Chain A
Amino acid sequence: MDSQQAKKVLTLFRPGYADEAKPEFEEALKQTKRDPELATWFNQHCAFQKATREQFRQIVVPGDLKDRILSQTRPRNIVLWRRPSLALAAAAAIVLLGALAAFWFRPGGSDNLTAYRNRMVRSAMREYRMNLLTNDLNEIRRFLKENQAHGDYVLPKPLEKLPGTGCAILSWQGKRVSLVCFELDPRNDLLLFITDRKTVSNAPPAGKPQFAPVGKLMTASWTAADKVYVLAGLGDQKSLQQYLK
């Protein structure tokens, strides 16, 4: 190896990074002992590498960045099935699904409100994985809009005050359905399904919510502007009504 070749190899040498021990540099380093001119260049190169590295590391990180990340992007959980409590809930949901199968698959129009409502609640109970996990309702809305789902929904005021837990994009009859989840307490969520008014054949009249149980969940369905909303949660009609005022 001549000095010119050694110079090329040593360009990638990082002082203080255990590069001295790497075989790829061994021969080139030996050459610096034999050629004083190369040794001078190498010392200057190492000084440059150290100084440049130091300057990169002096990039100042904003003091509040960590808090911003944690407050805006905190996943409650990535794979919810792995929580023991949720695994039990999942098992319960499977039993519930079996019990409700006859009801869900009964004869009737496939695009009506009952079919839509049952299918959406069933999907949420069976597949609890969300596309976005965040407490920030604005983030949820932005995510849904960016992903061509329904993000231009209008929430009843009580729902606006609840923290979100995340959202998912589902499908019904080839049309997109937005699922927005709200946290009531650590074990109890409210699920809101939003789709186009035209997607559901017998949507409820505007301003008059319809209540119907789906398994252990109570649902409230209503129409506003060009959207149909279905809210589902544990409890009875009265417990859901408080979120619709």
Chain B
Amino acid sequence: MPDELDFECLVSRYYSSLYQFAFSLSRTDTEASDLTQQTFYVWAIKGHQLRDVSKVKTWLFTTLHREFLEKHRRQTRFPHFELNQIDSELPSISPPMVDQLDSRTVLQALARVDASYQAPLALFYLEDHSYKEIAEILEIPLGTVKSRLSRGIAQLQEILMCPHVSPAALKREQHG
């Protein structure tokens, strides 16, 4: 079925968003470019195994994420929190802080967020994927996506408001 998809069209349609996702995770142009290229390279080899053409986008993002994890050899099993377990006080956001946001600052803050929240946050903000799509891409349950997003957004806001506080301190604060 994928042979019916024109490779150039596929690249044109998804390479930018894949690169932005890769850059959000890796924060280097070289690695983001490599991950994007590698994703299409894997498509060239294995794309024919995909039966449902409507899943191409999810497949590409999943592949990129797997390649990223593979590259960084993350063996850690990320903690699983349900949404109703999150009981921390969400920070207040000041209008001046919102006005001062720029891409570099946001990405630097994302880098300080707990590793397991980074990919859900990037997908949440970049492509406006639905929660179900994010769950499929990251191969985790829907409830876990929501809990990671809630915690991730809270951490991101805290870091942007208090850039000198360590992520560990933020985590301690979040977990009560």
Specify which chain A residues have a CB less than 8 angstroms from the CB of B131 in the assembled complex.
Answer: 12
Within 8 A of B (CB), among A15-41: 17, 41
Within 8 A of A (CB), among B76-117: 83, 86, 90, 92-95, 97-99, 101-103, 105-107
**A103 to chain B: closest CB distance in Å?**
33
Assuming the contacts A7-B90, A12-B150, asked whether A59 and B23 have C-beta atoms less than 8 A apart, the reply is yes
Specify which chain A residues have a CB less than 8 angstroms from the CB of B128 in the assembled complex.
Answer: 14, 17, 53
Specify which chain B residues have a CB less than 8 angstroms from the CB of A17 in the assembled complex.
Answer: 128
Specify which chain B residues have a CB less than 8 angstroms from the CB of A245 in the assembled complex.
Answer: none
Specify which chain A residues have a CB less than 8 angstroms from the CB of B44 in the assembled complex.
Answer: 73-75, 78, 132-134
Question: Do the beta carbons of A8 and B37 come within 8 Å of each other?
Answer: no
Q: How far, in angstroms, from A167 to B146 measured CA to CA in the complex? A: 43
Specify which chain B residues have a CB less than 8 angstroms from the CB of A131 in the assembled complex.
Answer: 45
Question: Do the beta carbons of A44 and B40 come within 8 Å of each other?
Answer: no
Specify which chain B residues have a CB less than 8 angstroms from the CB of A61 in the assembled complex.
Answer: 15-16, 19-20
Closest A residue to B48 by CB, please name it. A78
Q: How far, in angstroms, from A77 to B7 measured CA to CA in the complex? A: 9
Specify which chain B residues have a CB less than 8 angstroms from the CB of A56 in the assembled complex.
Answer: 20, 24, 103, 106, 122, 125-126
Question: Do the beta carbons of B126 and A57 come within 8 Å of each other?
Answer: yes
Tell me if A48 is interfacial: C-beta within 8 Å of chain B. yes
Within 8 A of A (CB), among B125-176: 125-126, 128, 131, 146, 149-150, 153-154, 156-157
Tell me if A94 is interfacial: C-beta within 8 Å of chain B. no
Question: Do the beta carbons of A62 and B93 come within 8 Å of each other?
Answer: no
- Contact residues on B (Cβ < 8 Å of other chain), bracket: 35 or more
Which among A14, A51, A82 has the highest number of chain B CB atoms within 10 Å?
Answer: A51
Question: Do the beta carbons of B37 and A69 come within 8 Å of each other?
Answer: yes
Tell me if B33 is interfacial: C-beta within 8 Å of chain A. yes
Q: How far, in angstroms, from A70 to B14 measured CA to CA in the complex? A: 13
Residues 22-36 of B, flagged 1 when their CB comes within 8 A of A and 0 if not, give 011000010001001
Which among B8, B15, B94 has the highest number of chain A CB atoms within 10 Å?
Answer: B15
Tell me if A210 is interfacial: C-beta within 8 Å of chain B. no
Q: How far, in angstroms, from A82 to B3 measured CA to CA in the complex? A: 8
Q: How far, in angstroms, from A131 to B49 measured CA to CA in the complex? A: 13
Specify which chain B residues have a CB less than 8 angstroms from the CB of A65 in the assembled complex.
Answer: 15, 19, 33, 36-37
Specify which chain A residues have a CB less than 8 angstroms from the CB of B90 in the assembled complex.
Answer: 7-8, 11, 41
Question: Do the beta carbons of B126 and A11 come within 8 Å of each other?
Answer: no
Question: Do the beta carbons of A58 and B19 come within 8 Å of each other?
Answer: no
Question: Do the beta carbons of B24 and A70 come within 8 Å of each other?
Answer: no
Specify which chain B residues have a CB less than 8 angstroms from the CB of A241 in the assembled complex.
Answer: none
Question: Do the beta carbons of A70 and B45 come within 8 Å of each other?
Answer: no
Specify which chain A residues have a CB less than 8 angstroms from the CB of B36 in the assembled complex.
Answer: 65, 69
Which among A17, A55, A74 has the highest number of chain B CB atoms within 10 Å?
Answer: A55
**A12 to chain B: closest CB distance in Å?**
6
Question: Do the beta carbons of B103 and A62 come within 8 Å of each other?
Answer: no
Assuming the contacts A7-B90, A56-B106, A131-B45, asked whether A44 and B95 have C-beta atoms less than 8 A apart, the reply is yes
Question: Do the beta carbons of B3 and A62 come within 8 Å of each other?
Answer: no
6 extra interface residue pairs, beta carbon distance < 8 Å, beyond A12-B131, A69-B40:
A47-B93, A56-B20, A59-B24, A65-B15, A78-B47, A132-B44
23 CB < 8 A contacts A-B = A11-B153, A12-B146, A12-B150, A14-B128, A44-B92, A44-B98, A47-B98, A51-B101, A52-B101, A52-B156, A53-B128, A55-B101, A55-B102, A55-B107, A57-B20, A57-B125, A59-B19, A61-B20, A65-B19, A66-B11, A66-B15, A73-B41, A78-B48
